[in-house]
Amino acid sequence: MSFSSRALRIHVPATSANLGPGFDTLGLALAYGDELTVVTREEPGAHVTVQGVGAGEIETDETNLVVRSAAYVFERLGRVLPGLEIEANNRIPHGRGMGSSGSAIVAGVMIAAGLLASDPDDPLELTEDQLLAYATDLEGHPDNVAPALFGGLTIAWTNEDGPRFKRLLVHRGVAPLVLVPTFTMSTQHARSLQPEHVPHEDAVFNLSRSALLIAALTQSPELLLEATEDRLHQSYRGEAMPATRDLVRALRAAGHPAVVSGAGPSILVLSNGPAERLAASDLVGEIAPEWRVLTLAIDIKGATVEEIPVDSAFSSRV
């Protein structure tokens, strides 16, 4: 690729995976995300300026996950990644089950897609299947990267041709609430707590609830409490995050469809309407005031990339 300075702006939403019974399959994009501004430069390598979440903690050179993800796509396509100057404005909490690593990977994939599409010498448009495949290669499973890429509610699976997804529109009555604690949880540790085998009746239970959850989220939100029941993963992880376990139990006992968000420790409440969401928020304020409450919408766009003028890319810098 011949060098020509270009600038992009990327937005990637947070996500919540599993949604209770849909382990490693269902994911939801949330209107709360990270924004990155990217400018190509003649010098090789990368420099990342981080504002917000992760500032002073995450890598700021080519070892940064966003940069590594962009480089992976270029390498797979036999292209050379240009030098990058990146400004990341991060809002997604890290280590809290809101898809921060998947969103970083998607950001890198979208940077690559934007640069390849705008290459003046040899433009290349990546397909949705390619975007999902590259992101899944890096993340290991598609349940978080699919909603981050495409928005809405996604069902993700893998066949002999690679990862696949189906995007669905969520019923307008569904009102998400995300509860974020001060402590973190390693996804790897959370996954290690699950047994290799589960009882047959538990597998059947989750199959029925997963099917019901699709109906509840797209057509009948009044069924969300029963549809979000789970026997495959949440109980096994509960001992590692007792505060999350206890708050989920308290919310569900009060009639609120609360589940562990991703691997935790955040909690997702899929309320049936704003009034029920407000009641759930008030309950959390009474029994767990130390938890941060995020009243969110569902992101229907997914990740976006736009080309912007180079001279205005970092105009917000002081």
The CA-based dihedral angle spanning residues 275, 281, 283, 284, taken in that order and rounded to the nearest 10 degrees: 170
Give the torsion through C-alpha atoms of 51, 56, 57, 61, to 10 deg: 80
Q: What are the E-state strand segments in 54-172?
A: 83-90, 153-159, 162-168
Task: Decide if 184 contacts 137 (C-beta within 8 A).
Answer: no
**Which among 224, 199, 190, 227 has a CA at the least distance from the CA of 211?**
227
Which among 140, 58, 76, 143 is positioned nearest to 112, based on CA atoms? 76
Task: Give residues with Cβ within 8 angstroms of 286, minimum separation 6.
Answer: none
Q: What is the dihedral of CA 13, 161, 129, 15, to 10 degrees?
A: -10
Q: What are phi and psi of 314, to 5 degrees?
A: -115, 35
**What residues pair up with 259 in beta bridges, in sequence order?**
268
Pairing mode of beta strands 46-52, 83-90: parallel
User: At residue 131, what is the residue type?
Assistant: L
What type of residue sits at position 74? F
Instruction: List binding-site positions for ATP.
Output: 93-103
What DSSP string describes 104-135? Answer: HHHHHHHHHHHHHHT-SSS--PPPHHHHHHHH
Distance in angstroms (rounded) separating the CA atoms of residues 240 and 112: 37
- Residues contributing to the annotated binding site: 93-103
